[in-house]
Structure formats: structure tokens, C-alpha cells
Chains A and B, each alone.
Chain A
Amino acid sequence: MGALSMKQQRARMKALWPGFAERRIDFEQKSVRWVGHCRPQLMPYTLDVRYQLGGFPEVRVLKPELIRLPGNAEGSLPHVYPPAVDPTLCLFDPAENQWVSSMFIAETTLPWAYDWIVCYEMWLMTGRWTGGGRHGPARRMGVIS
């Protein structure tokens, strides 16, 4: 199945997640950025989702600042890509082809980002990351700057 167009991605995002607004659309670069508010579990968050056709979606937490737990077995902040000052969430295993461009970001990336947040909150409460996954060497995925 071929890659979904930007138009398809944007339409699906708008239909499923009305709390997310398009902030920047670059028709030439075929990239888009959404910013939205959510409260998956205990606290409200502002998320930034960026996508460039042909690359991988990228999610950042804009607010609140993510809390670190130095000395924790999972690291001071688990399942993210560096840099530490501006981490992006690592929501799928690239070796497993869990995300391909024929998938809707609205149906995969965003719910997975919510999954990351609920697991992060539980990790802050217990010190344990219970959502599974594996840690691997950093490999920056193809994302827009």
C-alpha cells in the first residue's frame, strides 16, 4: 500500500483529534506540524507533532517540562531520542516496521504518544516503566527540522 498523502493525513487528524491544530504546513516540503492539548491521564500536556512525507513522525512534549529521575534503572528519561535538552518520544521500534507511511498518524503516532505519557506518569509514580519496549542505540529518524 502506498504512502498516504499530506491531505489524507491532515484530514484524518482533523477528524479524530479536534484538539490538535495545524500550525505550519509547507506544501513545497510536504511537511506539517500540529500542536494540541491533551490530558491522557493525570496532567495536561501540550504536544508538538511534526511530519514530513517520506520520513517518520516526530513528537515532542512542549509543556510541561518532562521530569527526570536520575539514577533510575530505565535512565533519567526512558524511551526518547536525544538531545536531552529537546527529546523526542520514541514510540515504535524502527526494526519492526511498526510505522510505515501508509498508516495514519492520527491512528498510530498520536495514540502512541498518549501511551508514552500514561507510562511516563506511572514511571514517575512507581519508578517502573510498565509499558514494555526496548532500549537501543540512538538512530535519529528522518524528521523535519
Chain B
Amino acid sequence: MNAPIANQGRNPFDDPVDRILAEIALSTQLPPSLHRKAVDRYEAVRKYLEADEAFNGDIEHFYPQGSMAIDGTISTRGTDDEYDIDIVAQLGGRFRSMDPLSILKELERALKDYPVRKVVRQTRCVTLFYSDNMHLDVTPSLRAYGTADRESYITHAKGPFAGADDQFVDMNAYGFAEWYRANTPLEPRLARAFRDRWFAMDAALAKAAEIDEVPEQCDFVVKNTATLALQLLKRYRNICYANYDGRIPLSVMLSYYAGVSARPNMSLSDMLVRVANWIKGDIDEANRRGQLLHVANPVTPDDVFTDRWPASFAQQEEFSRHLERLVVGVETAKRGDVTPDKLTDWLRAQFGDRVVTMAVDRMANMVGQSVQDAAHGYSRKGGLILPVAAATGLAVAPSVVRASPHTFFGERI
């Protein structure tokens, strides 16, 4: 019997449409320098809390949740360079007998002099606002004993006074992250391509990296196509709802769909279309049944991801229309049915002016430099093969025609 073929994944920089989408994702995701800063920061916050008499010995776990736990962090909604990092502080001891608001207030007190720009108690967490626009949400939780690993209750209390709505809410961010990682395994070819792309853009980062640093250990790198598609989808949602005040489709719900629809060795554009269609299909089915979309944590059914959105049929129908527009646009680009100038306009409208400008500028520089250096080649059908792909050996294949150096001349007409 033949050995199973490993899921290597695809290099998104091999295909022109995927290359643009990958560059857009690169422009929105948490840069490696900030990733390391985020890790340092939440470790520092833990030490600071442990030094507080009220918390000393009662912090059972302190771990990243949400996008940080699945390498899916992108810039915060309404911004191009602000990032939210979510941390769970699992508490024990005397906190187990306290009400939600008291726990949140105790956390706020312990962090009030923390050296950041601002400390704000929210409904479910305490947020630290750093001067470089990073926000660290510390969510207190209590372990739900007798349940799966780290299944917990998180605090929910508006304050400043105790209210009837104050409650503990089921949560299993840890279990969800484990589930997500199991559904979206490492795709080495993709992870390596992204690591190399970051290194190409950041010489200091490349120099600081261990020579033998492999993608599995390179914690800042997106490790599979589904997560890359998820980042694009989150960015698209952020732009769609940029001027909207109400609640929007939750990132964790989108993460669930990326995990459940993930399939090995898909192209980035195909994966983006697949996850968007999957969500749209579920919304349309819910509409047909006269129900609101219901999505729960696959490992903890009481942890409902749609508890705050959608609140109405209109909300879910609106998101379905947004998803349809995304699918049509990506498929049109894949067919080559849109001129490059119009494609840029469309991308700007869907993913934001600044990040798309950065993405296409980088792509133009990469393509132009390859042409000037004659470092690229063409397939027998005339498809461009850039040096990033050449590194995998494609350029030396007999089916690839290498371009020779030349100088464009002629007039401007």
C-alpha cells in the first residue's frame, strides 16, 4: 500500500489571484514583531497579577484565546494597525465564591496602575490599552469542574453596580482552539512561504531568527490556508461593517466555519469562496426554516457563538448578501473577467484602501524586480512563475521557460 500523501498545502504566492489575497492578508495580520511583543506582554501581565496579594496563588492558568490562540489575529475593526489580544485568566481559590462584578472589579483594581495608556473594565474583561495601539483583554474565568479540560465560566456584568443581568457564561476557548488546530493542520509549504515572505520584508526579523527555525516552531506564521482565508474573511467583515454601530458577526463564529470547512491542499481563493459559501448556505437554510443562525462551540454546546449576533433575520440576510458579493468578486477575478484596474478598485472597496494599496505595491515591486533580474519563468501556457515558486524547483522543470534579461524601450503614447 502506498504511503498517504502528506498535506503540504499550496504556496499562495504561486497563483496571481491568490498572491494578491495573500499580500492583503499579510497587510492585515499581526506583524511578527508585534506578535512577540504580545506574548511578552501577556506574560508580564501574569507576573504583575501574581505579585498582587489578592491574585497570588489563585491564577490557575493564563492563556491566549480567540485569534491569538489560532494564529488568526488581524487588525481591529475600523483600523489598519491596531490589534486586540485576548487572554483568559483562569482563577481559583477565593474567586470561586465571588460574583461576576466583584471579580471584574478586583481585576480592575489589581491592574489600575499597570503602566499602559488606559485600563478599562468592560462587561466581560479588563482591557489594557498600550500606547502603540495594542489592546490586551484579560477575561477572568472560573473552571467548570467535572467538564472537559479548561471548560469555564466567564464573568458578565455591566457594572458599576450589581444587576439582574450579571451572570457567569459558559466558555471553552481552550477546547475550541484545540478543535480548530486539529481541523486545520500545518501545511508546511504555505507556512514556509509566509515565513520567507516576512523575512524578505523584515531583514532584522530574518537575522534574529534561528537558522533552523521551522514553520512548526515559527509561532507568528499562519500555518494553513483555512486560517489565511479566515483572516481575509474577518477583514472583509470589518470593512463591510465599518460604519455600523451594532453587533457584527463574531470572529469566533467565522473561525468555527473556517475550521469546519477546511480541506487539505486548497488554493487560498478556493478556500475563501468555500468558507463564505458554507456560512451563506447555513444562513440561507436557517432563513428557510424561519430560524436565526445558531452556531455553538463544537466541544461545548452551551458555549454559543451566535448569542449576540444575529439578533434578527435582517442581520443574517445582510451578511449573506455580503458573502455572496465576496464570492462573485473572487470568482470573477479567478476567471480573469475583470481588468486589473477595476480589480484593484474592487479589492479596495472590499478589504480597505490602505491595505490593498500596500499589497498591490508590494506585488508590483516583486513582479517588476523579477522581470528586471530575469529571475522568473513561464509555464508552457504562458503563466508567470515567480522566484518564490522557483525555490520549490518549478523553475528548473523542463516545462518552464526561463525569461532572459532585456530592457523595455519605446515611447510613451
Contacts and interface: CB of A to CB of B under 8 A. Distances in A.
Interface stretch (A2-10, A25-33, A132-140): A132-140
Given A16-B380, A38-B382, A39-B383, A122 B409 contact: no
Residues of A contacting B: mostly: loop
By Cβ-Cβ distance, the 3 closest A-B pairs, closest first, are: A75-B412, A130-B368, A90-B410
Size range of the chain B interface in the assembly: 35 or more
Given A92-B409, A124-B341, A132-B371, A112 B365 contact: no
Interface of A: 16-19, 38-44, 64, 67, 69, 74-82, 84, 87, 89-94, 96, 98-99, 106-108, 111-112, 114-116, 118-119, 121-126, 128-138
24 contacts: A16-B380, A18-B380, A39-B383, A40-B383, A43-B336, A43-B338, A75-B413, A80-B413, A90-B410, A92-B406, A118-B367, A124-B340, A124-B341, A125-B363, A125-B364, A126-B361, A131-B368, A131-B408, A132-B371, A132-B372, A134-B407, A135-B409, A135-B411, A138-B411
Interface in B314-354: 333, 336, 338-341, 343-344
A107 B407 contact: no
B408 A132 contact: yes
A42 B343 contact: yes
Interface string B361-383: 10111011101100001101111
B413 A125 contact: no
Contacts of A77: 412-413
B367 to A, nearest CB: 5
Contacts of A122: 340, 360, 363-364, 367-368
A136 B413 CA distance: 12
Given A119-B368, A128-B364, A67 B339 contact: yes
* Most-contacted residue by chain B among A18, A84, A92, A122 (CB, 10 A): A122
A122 to B, nearest CB: 4
B408 A116 contact: yes
A64 B339 CA distance: 9
B360 A125 contact: yes
Nearest to A38: B382
A115 B408 CA distance: 9
A132 B365 CA distance: 11
